[in-house]
Amino acid sequence: MIRKANNDDLDILDKMARMVADNLHRHGIDQWSNIYPTRQHFANDLKKNGLYICEIAGNIVGSISLLDIDDETYQTITWRCTHSQVIHRMMVDPGYLGKGIGTVLIQFAIDYISKNGYDSIKVDTHPDNIRMKKILLAFGFKESGYLTAINRDAFELVFEKN
């Protein structure tokens, strides 16, 4: 159901990002736009070996980027861990909302990142993106602060060491 993305997926992801941005705006969430994210953002994630897609019956229904690099704005708040991966550009095709795709993507991120020896996962979302916040809190992510420069709430999930 989840696999590494490839170059053939980029146009589909670009189109899906526009649909997701439109859906967010229809729900009063000013998180994405017509210029973010774009095909180039996904291509950069692919080059960094961090772009994954979720498929159902051969159709791409979502994606998530898992990257080592913190954005500069992430340095403006205090995190609990430094050896972390960051979730970027997680999206679900609006036609598949409410079908558990977001949950599958977050569970994949947790499994993948913890298995690869990281101490935590960092992520941000728009303050009005209640759907994303609900998923994050259900998985045990804790609020870590507010990223003023980009108007985002930050969350972190710290892995317990055995």
Beta strands in the chain (DSSP E): 2-4, 51-56, 59-67, 84-92, 120-125, 142-147, 152-158
* Digit-coded pLDDT (tens) for 47-79: 999 999 999 999 999 999 999 977 889 999 999
* C-alpha closest to that of 105 among 53, 57, 144: 53
Per-residue pLDDT, 162: 59
- Which superfamily, per CATH, for 2-158? Gcn5-related N-acetyltransferase (GNAT) (3.40.630.30)
Domain ranges of the chain: 2-158
Are the beta carbons of 89 and 37 closer than 8 angstroms? Answer: yes
Structure pTM? 0.94
* Digit-coded pLDDT (tens) for 108-151: 999 999 999 999 999 999 999 999 999 999 999 999 999 999 99
According to DSSP, residue 159 is labeled P
* C-alpha closest to that of 109 among 155, 74, 47: 155
What CA–CA distance (Å, rounded) separates 161 from 101? 28
Output the DSSP codes for 27-47.
TT-----SSSS-HHHHHHHHH
What CA–CA distance (Å, rounded) separates 142 from 145? 9
Per-residue pLDDT, 44: 97
